[in-house]
Amino acid sequence: MSGIFISFEGPDGAGKTTVIEALLKKIATITNKEVLVTREPGGSEIAEEIRQLILDPKHTEMDDWTEALLYAASRRQHLIEVIQPALAADQIVLCDRYVDSSIAYQGNGRQLGMEKVKQLNDFAIQGQLPQLTLYLDVPVEIGLQRVKKLGAGFDRLEGQELAFHQRVREAYLKLVEENEDRIALVDATQPIDDVVAKCFAKIQQLVK
Ligand SMILES: Nc1ncnc2c1ncn2[C@@H]1O[C@H](COP(=O)(O)OP(=O)(O)OP(=O)(O)O)[C@@H](O)[C@H]1O
Ligand SMILES: Cc1cn([C@H]2C[C@H](O)[C@@H](COP(=O)(O)O)O2)c(=O)[nH]c1=O
């Protein structure tokens, strides 16, 4: 695979989508490589259908392991159908969430165990990790407040209790500590231009 795979992570409302959009233009100034923006869960027709199933607030009866398996299944489909072909075509892939989301949300948020959820996903991704993961760190109250302000309501995951979101953030901070060669923490409470500049600096180091 000759492309570059970059994922973006963070609690809900950290600013991933906004940052990725801003980075698109900036990346075009430093490389001729095509840039593909995609997201999880989703990014392909089948994976988007799984997304609807998982995030629908009316699916209150969904078992936690079923949820973890559905995220892993949508990841597998997206990886095979979208990410790997783009990398093979020498593109830069900017992915809004990837495997660290499952380890944080299902592993620690749902308390299924970070290592167990990692193992489940090892099967799905077969070693395909991003070269760089930009973790946008924000206190969960601030992130959820930002989502609330958008006015579209909460999906099934966003609608979980505060303690769930706090466990998610704790897990991310642990992942940053354990994977400092891959995951870079960016303070996402800063003004958006500063957050974008910090992310861009990290990407420049990789793309040059
Ligand atoms: N650094 C920032 N400062 C203030 N507001 C921000 C910042 N970053 C993003 N926002 C605002 O927060 C809201 C949520 O941002 P965005 O949708 O990019 O977050 P996200 O991480 O993609 O969320 P989700 O996890 O729910 O997909 C948007 O209204 C965006 O303009
Ligand atoms: C990939 C992935 C995501 N989640 C959660 C995180 C969010 O609450 C939603 C996705 O919605 P977004 O607004 O597009 O960020 O799903 C998760 O729990 N596990 C995962 O693997």
What tokens appear for 35 in the block? 């840039």
What tokens appear for 79 in the block? 């990886």
Tokens 């958008």: give the residue: 150
Count Cα atoms within 13 angstroms, Cβ side, for 162. Answer: 5
Domains and CATH numbers, the chain: 4-207 (3.40.50.300)
Q: Where are the alpha helices (DSSP H) in 43-98?
A: 45-55, 64-78, 84-88
Q: Is 63 annotated as a binding residue?
A: no
| Whether residue 200 has its Cβ less than 6 Å from ligand 2 | no
The whole-number pLDDT of residue 161 equals: 98
The whole-number pLDDT of residue 1 equals: 61
CB 12 within 8 A of CB 144: yes
The whole-number pLDDT of residue 2 equals: 86
Task: Locate the ligand 2 atom nearest the alpha carbon of residue 54 and give its number.
Answer: 16
ipTM value of the model? 0.98
0.90 exceeded by pTM: yes
Q: Is 10 annotated as a binding residue?
A: yes
The whole-number pLDDT of residue 82 equals: 98
Q: Which residues of the chain have pLDDT under 50?
A: none
Task: Locate the ligand 2 atom nearest the alpha carbon of residue 99 and give its number.
Answer: 21
